[in-house]
Amino acid sequence: MRVLVTGASGMLGGAVARLLVDRGHSVTTLQRRPSGVDGATDLRGSITDAEVLKDAVRGQDGIIHLAAKVSFTGRAADFDNVNIEGTRRLLAAARAASVPDFVFVSSPSVANSGAALVGLGAGPADPARAHGDYARTKGEAELLALAADSLDFRVAAVRPHVVWGPGDTQLVERVLARAARRRLPLLDSGAALIDTTYVDNAAAAIAAALDRMDRVHGSAVVVTNGEPRPVGELIAGICAAGGVPAPSWAVPGAVARGAGAVVEKLWLWAGRQEEPPMTRFLAEQLSTAHWFDQRRTRELLDWTPAVSLDEGLERLAAYYSPGSASLSNQ
């Protein structure tokens, strides 16, 4: 099968592309910087460029779309341009090229208004109630993608939740950097149960969606390891793997959520490019339960996680161990 993977320079996109290459597929990657995926044909460009997309989709049997603006802060127009308009252009290019299958990689945040999510499935995306421009625009893009589903152009949305693993800069590196500087508190007592997804499991689930498109097209599914853990326990495990002390102090979740909302506005006003230390969305994620019923996902995809959270943490510790090849190449 000939498959286009967008956003393969990211941890999850790269893992998806490598998995497909290992399975013998002909893989093309599209992103703004090199993907580093051996065996794939690397294209450089933006999903907002219609001419680039026209070339990228030509002759493909399937598309897995991961490219997105992922951030806790930034200009709303930038999120709109990449996440909504980029997806719209890619969908149009795919249909014009008669590509039969399209997997849109989304996020559970598209259906989360900030309240706890306990044992739920994939509710409908609700951009109007989503918190933050990332969740809002991913929700809009998911609705666009699923609205395009038909028998001739099958579309599915996969929502992996809190993906982490070796080389992760979105969660792991931020946790370790802030914990090392004693700037990472637990919110409330760190007891909120959350689902997460080890990167290899998320990649396998996304690939399974492309394989099981006859079952899953027209639908959204949430993907997790199915092992809810207290957020404090997960953070402590990441810190132990990275060799830094776990957080030993706490602040009330309500205080963090209020402070995060203020910090977001200050960051945007000041035009700062680095990620803020706290946002409302991040505070919500760290202080409210969010775990999901995985029965429908596993049935539709014919997939189960191969790597447990404990094994994932062992792999993370090996990645950060002194003298490891990963550290020597950094």
Active site residues: 134
CB atoms within 10 A of CB 96: 12
Distance CA 217, CA 156 (A): 5
- Sole residue written with tokens 């008669």: 98
Please give the structure tokens belonging to residue 264: 């977001």
Buried b (16+ CB within 10 A) or exposed e, 85-94: bbbbbbbebb
Would strands 197-198 and 163-164 be described as parallel, antiparallel, or unpaired? Answer: parallel
Distance CA 261, CA 5 (A): 34
Q: In the Cβ-directed half-sphere of 191, how many Cα atoms lie within 13 Å?
A: 3
Length in residues, the chain: 330
Which stretches does DSSP call E strand in 113-208? 117-120, 154-160, 163-164, 186-187, 193-194, 197-198
Q: In Å, how far from its chain's centre is CA 250?
A: 27
Cβ(37)–Cβ(14) below 8 Å: yes
Distance CA 95, CA 244 (A): 49
Which stretches does DSSP call E strand in 62-219? 62-65, 101-105, 117-120, 154-160, 163-164, 186-187, 193-194, 197-198
